[in-house]
Amino acid sequence: MKVKKTIVLLPGDGIGPEVTRAAATVLRECAQEFHHEFDLHEFPIGGAAIDEIGTPLPNETLDACKKADAVFLGAVGGAKWDSLPVGKRPESGLLGLRKGMGLYVNVRPVKVLEPLRGISPLKPERLGDLDIEIVRELAGGMYFGERGNTTENGVERAWDTESYSTPEIERIATFAYGRAENRSRRLCSVDKANVLASSQLWRRTVVAMSGVYSAVKLEHMYVDNAAMQLTLKPSQFDVMLTSNMFGDILSDAAAALVGSIGLIPSASFGTGAPLFEPIHGSAPSLVGTDSANPVGSILSAVLMLRDAFGLSLEADWVEQSLHRVLAGGYRTADIAQPGASTIGGSVFTEMLREEMQRTLEHAERYGWGV
């Protein structure tokens, strides 16, 4: 069935435009070959928007995102803008975008890609069948709590407040329980309830909801232990539920388990259009070298196809083609292994496109009616 969707592209800063082009290539291929209509529109955000318009989140950008069916973000930030006040930096544009779009859930799938199992820093027996979803609360906690700075008697003091309400916890927990129900029905809620009042409320709320989701096995883990267990035996986890700050830290730690932060996609959901983005930063030092890894961006496009548009067949097509390119030994520099063919990010994307076309030539073999 033909699908018509409006997609806003926010390339952003550093390597953001490069990896966004990779995702756009995949989306255009899907539209063409499966007879969909994807209208892609590009808008500035972050440092690029500061340089062009004077603000990290122009009203035109936010308005377009609110009207879209899905949004794709490249990356924001860079040393060029570090001297700006906190509320004026590129990253504040991203926080404003999340708030303006009503996004309160971030999902980061961390899954070992079989052709890349050897680049994990963990031994194979410890890595196991790594396949985790980290469900992170995105609109509350310390990043949005009360903050301030004062000087008394020549001594400067600053504070940031970790704060959550029961409804905020309930809505993110509802999402996490739902993801767990559709996977292996295991949910690990991460907190620091032994010392933080906000975490005590977090735990009480998650426990109170467990009766509604009786098929899901719930466990709790302090955040410091969770960080340790991720490196000792990551396969023990399936869905992890975290606060904003804890999820920010743990998801990057989990990304290291697969060998490169450039391999991890993410999706954010809320009351409006969902947002998809690779979790890596803007990496200004890589700009112009064509060495940025586009895999996280490509897998973010796969998430968009599957989770936002319900196009599982198209998502499978891209994902399987990506695995075959990697199995052929083609790598960007960050994931290169001895004997691998090291290529640039744009070349990798073109090879993926060609592999997708080869797959279509044998569509009958897969039972696909393209």
Annotated catalytic residues are: 143, 192, 224, 248, 252
Task: Write a three-state SS string for the chain.
Answer: CCCEEEEEEEEECCCHHHHHHHHHHHHHHHHHHCCCEEEEEECCCHHHHHHHHCCCCCHHHHHHHHHCCEEEEEECCCHHHCCCCHHHCHHHHHHHHHHHCCEEEEEEEEECCHHHHHHCCCCHHHHCCCEEEEEEECCCHHHCCCEEEEEECCEEEEEECCCCCHHHHHHHHHHHHHHHHCCCCEEEEEECCCCCHHHHHHHHHHHHHHHHHCCCEEEEEEHHHHHHHHHHCHHHCCEEEECHHHHHHHHHHHHHHCCCHHHCEEEEEECCCCEEEECCCCCHHHCCCCCCCCHHHHHHHHHHHHHHCCCHHHHHHHHHHHHHHHHCCEECHHHCCCCCEECCHHHHHHHHHHHHHHHHHCHHHHCCCC
Pick from 76, 45, 362, 114: nearest CA to 259: 114
> Distance between CA atoms of 320 and 356, rounded to whole angstroms?
9
Pick from 110, 129, 117: nearest CA to 267: 110
R_g of the chain computed on alpha carbons: 21
> Is residue 107 a contact partner of residue 266, using CB atoms and an 8 Å limit?
yes
Instruction: State the amino acid at position 118 in one-letter form.
Output: G
